[in-house]
Amino acid sequence: MSVYLHDIPLVQAQARFREALQEAGLWRVLGVEEIPLDENALGRVTAQPTWAKVSSPHYHASAMDGFAVRAEDTSGAQPASPIQLSVISGQSSVQAQYVDTGDPLPEWANAVIPIENTEPLDENGKITSAVRGPSSIRVRAAVAPWSHVRPLGEDIVATQLVLPAGHILKPADLGAIAAAGHQTVRVARKPKVAILPTGTELVPIGSKLKAGDILEYNSLVIAAQVRQMGGEPTRFPITKDDFDLICQRVQEAAQTHDLVLLNAGSSAGAEDFSAKVVEKLGALLVHGVAVRPGHPVILGTIDRGPQTIVHRPSSIVPIIGVPGYPVSAALTVDIFVEPLLAKWLGRRPLELPVETAILTRKLVSPAGDDDFVRVVVGKVGDKLLAAPLSRGAGVITSLVQADGLALIPSGVQGMEAGEKIQVRLYRNRNEIEKTILAIGSHDLTLDLIAQFLAEHDRRLASANVGSQGGLVALRRGEAHLAGSHLLDTQIGEYNISYIRQYMPNIPVKVVALVGRDQGLIVRRGNPKGIKTLGDLTRSEVQFVNRQRGAGTRVLLDYHLNLMTIPPDSIAGYHQEEYTHLGVAAAVASGRADCGLGVATAAQALDLDFIPLFQERYDLVIPKQFAQDELLSPLFDLLADSRFREAVSHLKGYDVSVMGNVILED
Amino acid sequence: MSVYLHDIPLVQAQARFREALQEAGLWRVLGVEEIPLDENALGRVTAQPTWAKVSSPHYHASAMDGFAVRAEDTSGAQPASPIQLSVISGQSSVQAQYVDTGDPLPEWANAVIPIENTEPLDENGKITSAVRGPSSIRVRAAVAPWSHVRPLGEDIVATQLVLPAGHILKPADLGAIAAAGHQTVRVARKPKVAILPTGTELVPIGSKLKAGDILEYNSLVIAAQVRQMGGEPTRFPITKDDFDLICQRVQEAAQTHDLVLLNAGSSAGAEDFSAKVVEKLGALLVHGVAVRPGHPVILGTIDRGPQTIVHRPSSIVPIIGVPGYPVSAALTVDIFVEPLLAKWLGRRPLELPVETAILTRKLVSPAGDDDFVRVVVGKVGDKLLAAPLSRGAGVITSLVQADGLALIPSGVQGMEAGEKIQVRLYRNRNEIEKTILAIGSHDLTLDLIAQFLAEHDRRLASANVGSQGGLVALRRGEAHLAGSHLLDTQIGEYNISYIRQYMPNIPVKVVALVGRDQGLIVRRGNPKGIKTLGDLTRSEVQFVNRQRGAGTRVLLDYHLNLMTIPPDSIAGYHQEEYTHLGVAAAVASGRADCGLGVATAAQALDLDFIPLFQERYDLVIPKQFAQDELLSPLFDLLADSRFREAVSHLKGYDVSVMGNVILED
């Protein structure tokens, strides 16, 4: 049971892959096709420079509705001493001729006077209506040569470069190519990419799930990535972990595709066949790359088999073994597939804009790895902050929520909170400046706030670090607000004493968001008939607790004390879970009969809930931000009846306190 | 012949349109459709929040291949004093169980030890191969509870918000929606947009052109814009300027579309029917907006006619009269159609990132207009510069070349060179920092340089201000290089004396680019048998000249002087054109028999060319930039045989001087 062959540095892995493809003649545009110049050309990459076949305009054109004249005939014209120019006289002495916008300028003319600057006259020299052509016009200002004329080639001169090769076509480009006399455009052929999900544990989207089943959605994400990059993806059906079956599918894919992506099975476990498949069908170039997330990446080439795509430049097909964890998979595609497709399309590789931000918490990173960290980015005061999201390679929502990607390069073992870090941004600065950063205790109503704020041009990005962590973040100036439900057991009051302790000398506004039920999470139907904290001392009742320091643990201890129930009389008091959902999961699995938590955790796992206490969940907002225009939609929201109604539909929530100002310094 | 009803301010026009649509119930998401969760969902806009139906993972899952254990059983394990855990003993006393990545954790376990951190032992306590399951394992380090476990809900908790409504779907989002238990996603229906080109002078792309014909490509650009914005465009065939025909087409379009765009005919000329059409079929809300380019915009609503799209919320259909000039058309679509489609799709309107740049030349702007100026943006030294492109509303290439759009708001009458201006950027900063700004005399070889540099991750943006203008731009630090071909007639030498005069005290490097033929542009077949400057004095030869100050005029006067030909002996010497192409056009139209210019101008209009002199065209580069990494691909290019060959294929160019260093301070 060896691990990977070995993890080689990222740049080395990329170089080895590139060299193999260069050698095979595959490090260049794959092929060229001529397509009609219509809106389907949008986003395609030009395969050749576009040179103009015609000029635009292809003649000297009037730029206005008006009269074509010789500029020299108007010289001396002034408001008080107008000049009269004849319109209908014989060709030899004509001095003015009516032209519509776009009409060719008569050969003898070199300027146009807009119609509104002329006085049309009849044959008697009287001002006339313009319905029939006047016999002459009066002008009261001289015009310069070429006024209101679009000279031949003003836009495009025949033979000039209109667009270079390697250009991604935008709407205006299509117009320019048409204006330059073309009906078609030669673009790079879209690379065909086969995506092969493998794994006996995989089940298709929509399956009824049992423990151990894993939903196969990586192929969906990868297909969308490939399409976004300009490739043409094919999703293959799931293949079981069977060496021969996988070999067969890979060969089938290689015959009709330019690139094969073999998802999962790229590690070194007993059922991980990808490396062996590549070795059997071709050459294994790299197995294991020092990049995180993503380690078990495979890079290789396989023999194509019979030719089926016309004009394919080589008899080999590159293959990439993509790791199974969804974040690893997506990043592997960004790191290895994007540059390859860019090369095959002849365009620049995608480059995200980079900004420097301040890291909100310490990050540990293996010194040997290029470590990519998904971050939420927000501007708090004048600081641009990067708050790391979950680093779990299985947490696809960290990619959904990410505003950017921070790289801790190999050689760096980690970074401290407050250090500057380079972030590749997924969103532009405008969006980031409309982001409200909430750090603290999580509550489901924050999701509803996020949904409502999105309708008012604000984005709520929240990070869950617990109530106390939120107050510390506010003190450090790293968030606009914190959700908090800290009970002071001495005085039975929420939050205020903690705010004074953790955020001394910072003026704040505290607004109640909701009253929220805490209660006992029990199995469906409450088979043990548990009703109060008193029932926890019954011998047949197995309890599961939260960890010391958790708000819910503080609440339990407070009430046990009020009711004079000794903790040690409760079976399982010392068995600790770290989240509401951990408690619910312990109950769902039968490991415990009950635990204290919020109603929504019970609901999430389809358990029953016995409400016991109501606690207040407040929003703590430094005064500086409470008055900021950024947050004003949030305050509007607290008074919005639609929002109140939406929250009151959630189980275990009371909106009667919503918007009450608890404290305002 | 009145002009527009009147030009109203942009914000007022937008408000009037919005209010009419609000009243009609059309200022909201048009409709919702449920689509399968596949890669075609990419880029669609969510119409509802996505709440999780299931948790992910939906069970406590092993995060590694390894052994599930109880963390407490490992406590005290150390390298020198390992602990042994039984694997195959009966269920009651099992202490370790093999799990693959993704397997459910056994109920009794709360941690996983990765396989590479264990020593598998056989029934005799000897280290064994892992092919068959060991009977026990030895571990040499304690593990914390929940190590290498992905707890239930680590990624997604059932009931949580996965994505808000109004979100544009990215690849990872599709995975998250799938992980949350969905097989479909509800998205906003794509608004159907009809695009009706009108105009008797219009001819379809690919037509053989005669004077007065205008290629109809606006509908192509608009269709591509609409598609990029998330709408579904339909391009109608060209309709002649015929009131009844246009009415008929508009009604037909309104029956099957959500929005009608009527292109051109929106001004107030005799053939401009758009406003009358809107008045006849519905309500004309706005005719004329104080925005430049774009003035003759029409906003209105028309009655739908018989219902053909299901669930359309209103009986009226908005219609926009889009001006005919291509730049006006594209900007009108950006200004009026984009926010409407954003509203109909329920997404945020597009917002380009804004940067502050320094304006390179004075801009005059009507005080009453919101004036949009296309600019090239580049970074020269540490200054971000915005160089205005052609402001002609007919110059579609100005949109192709633009890096951004600068707004001179109404109320401001113009801006001086050197002032700071806000630019909405089309490209990101990385790209802009790879832009080489060339300002000066234009030459066709610059197009070839642009094409070759694009292959080396550089972009050449060039602005044509003439040789002297280029040197002045270099002095002001507004360009990286200037193309120049200024002959000092005193000493018969190119450029150097001018550089000393216009750029005193600035160290430069001057490199020869090409030798270029100047000669006489004559009609095809040279009917008057013109061969030398001496022929210009023949009485039947009509000449056309360049303006005073032009390099080519300097060259002519220099040679006339050498040959002692008096200028006044040449018919047409005082007839001036402003560009090489203007000279060529005068010859092509028969207005003159010949003029002095470059070979490519003759070639562009299919004329003959009599080469007379060769002049040198140099690149002038301040030393500061000559040593910069940004420009190094340019110097490589001058030594690149492929590039030399490409230039030598152009008519009238000599590459023997290419790369010669003329001056290096």
Q: What is the pLDDT of residues A463-505, one digit of tens each?
A: 877 888 899 999 999 999 999 999 998 888 999 999 999 999 9
The predicted pLDDT at position A361 comes to: 86
The pLDDT of A80-85, averaged and rounded, is 92
The predicted pLDDT at position A1 comes to: 33
Q: Whole-angstrom Cα distance, residue A451 to residue B625?
A: 50
The pLDDT of B82-108, averaged and rounded, is 85
Q: Which of B67, B129, B451, B647 to mutate to test the interface with A (most CBs of A within 10 A)?
A: B451
The predicted pLDDT at position A2 comes to: 38
The pLDDT of A316-333, averaged and rounded, is 96
B218 lies within 8 A of chain A by CB: yes
Instruction: Please indicate whether, in this complex, the C-beta atoms of B455 and A166 are within 8 angstroms of each other.
Output: yes
Which of A184-193, A202-211, B387-396, B600-609 tops mean pLDDT?
A184-193
Instruction: Please indicate whether, in this complex, the C-beta atoms of A222 and B582 are within 8 angstroms of each other.
Output: no
Torsion of CA A416, A420, A425, A430, to 10 degrees: 120
- For residue B429, the chain A residue with the least C-alpha distance is A353
Q: Where residue B4 falls among pLDDT bands split at 50, 70, 90? A: very low
The predicted pLDDT at position B569 comes to: 95
A504 lies within 8 A of chain B by CB: no
A428 lies within 8 A of chain B by CB: yes
Residues in chain A: 665
The predicted pLDDT at position B568 comes to: 94
The predicted pLDDT at position B489 comes to: 85
Alpha-helix residue ranges (DSSP H) falling in B109-160:
none
Average pLDDT over chain B reads 91
* SS3 labels along B218-286: HHHHHHHHHHHCCCEEEECCCECCCHHHHHHHHHHHHHHCCEEEEECCCCCCCCCCHHHHHHHHEEEEE
pLDDT at B50 over 70: yes
Q: Which of A70, A152, A605 to mutate to test the interface with B (most CBs of B within 10 A)?
A: A152
CA of B613 to nearest chain A CA: how many angstroms apart?
22
The pLDDT of A459-464, averaged and rounded, is 86
- For CA atoms A295, A296, A301, A305, the dihedral sign is negative
pLDDT at B503 over 60: yes
The predicted pLDDT at position A225 comes to: 98
Instruction: Please indicate whether, in this complex, the C-beta atoms of B224 and A102 are within 8 angstroms of each other.
Output: no
B133 lies within 8 A of chain A by CB: no
pLDDT at A246 over 60: yes
Q: Which DSSP state fits B550? A: -
Higher pLDDT, B367 or B223: B223
Helix (H/G/I), strand (E/B), else coil: B21: helix
pLDDT at B17 over 70: yes
The predicted pLDDT at position A213 comes to: 94
Q: Which of B397, B398, B433, B600 to mutate to test the interface with A (most CBs of A within 10 A)?
A: B397
Burial of A452 (0-12, 13-18, 19+ CB in 10 A): buried
Nearest to A245 by CA among A215, A280, A219: A280
Q: Where residue B310 falls among pLDDT bands split at 50, 70, 90? A: low
Residue A354 tokens read as: 């980079």
pLDDT at B113 over 70: yes
Q: Which of A62, A100, A434, A587 to mutate to test the interface with B (most CBs of B within 10 A)?
A: A100
Burial of A210 (0-12, 13-18, 19+ CB in 10 A): exposed
pLDDT at B564 over 90: yes
Greatest Cα pair distance, chain B, in angstroms, is 119
pLDDT at B5 over 60: no
- pLDDT tens-digit profile of A556-580? 999 999 999 999 999 999 888 877 8
Average pLDDT over chain A reads 91
A/B interface, count of CB pairs below 8 Å: 331
* Other Cβ atoms closer than 10 A to A448: 22
B242 lies within 8 A of chain A by CB: no
A221 lies within 8 A of chain B by CB: yes
The predicted pLDDT at position B523 comes to: 96
Nearest to B423 by CA among B481, B379, B368: B379
B591 lies within 8 A of chain A by CB: yes
- pLDDT tens-digit profile of A580-629? 888 998 898 888 999 999 998 898 888 999 999 999 999 999 999 999 99
The predicted pLDDT at position B495 comes to: 93
Cβ contact A279:A309 at 8 Å: no
Q: Whole-angstrom Cα distance, residue A498 to residue A467?
A: 10
Instruction: Please indicate whether, in this complex, the C-beta atoms of A42 and B224 are within 8 angstroms of each other.
Output: yes
The predicted pLDDT at position B89 comes to: 60
**Comparing A250-254, A436-440, B49-53, B156-160, which segment has the lowest mean pLDDT?**
B156-160
Q: Whole-angstrom Cα distance, residue A187 to residue A41?
A: 9
ipTM, 2 dp? 0.91
The predicted pLDDT at position B307 comes to: 60
Q: Which DSSP state fits B148? A: T
Q: Where residue A232 falls among pLDDT bands split at 50, 70, 90? A: very high
pLDDT at B267 over 90: no
A215 lies within 8 A of chain B by CB: yes
The pLDDT of B514-533, averaged and rounded, is 96
B203 lies within 8 A of chain A by CB: no
Cβ contact A82:A199 at 8 Å: no
Cβ contact A56:B393 at 8 Å: no
CA of B657 to nearest chain A CA: how many angstroms apart?
23
Q: Tell me which amino acid residue B653 is.
A: Y
The predicted pLDDT at position B465 comes to: 79
Instruction: Please indicate whether, in this complex, the C-beta atoms of A444 and B160 are within 8 angstroms of each other.
Output: yes
pLDDT at B131 over 80: no
CA of A444 to nearest chain B CA: how many angstroms apart?
7
pLDDT at A131 over 60: no
- For residue A174, the chain B residue with the least C-alpha distance is B221
Nearest to A495 by CA among A503, B179, B69: A503
Q: Which DSSP state fits B360? A: S
The predicted pLDDT at position B1 comes to: 33
Which of 338-357 (B) contact A at CB < 8 A? 348, 351-354
Instruction: Please indicate whether, in this complex, the C-beta atoms of A146 and B578 are within 8 angstroms of each other.
Output: yes
The pLDDT of A246-275, averaged and rounded, is 89
Q: Where residue B443 falls among pLDDT bands split at 50, 70, 90? A: confident
Provide, rounded to the nearest whole percent, the portion of chain A with pLDDT above 90: 71
Q: Which residues of A touch B224 (CB under 8 A)?
A: 39, 41-42, 170-171, 174
Cβ contact A619:A481 at 8 Å: yes
CA angle A490, A492, A494 (to 5 degrees): 110
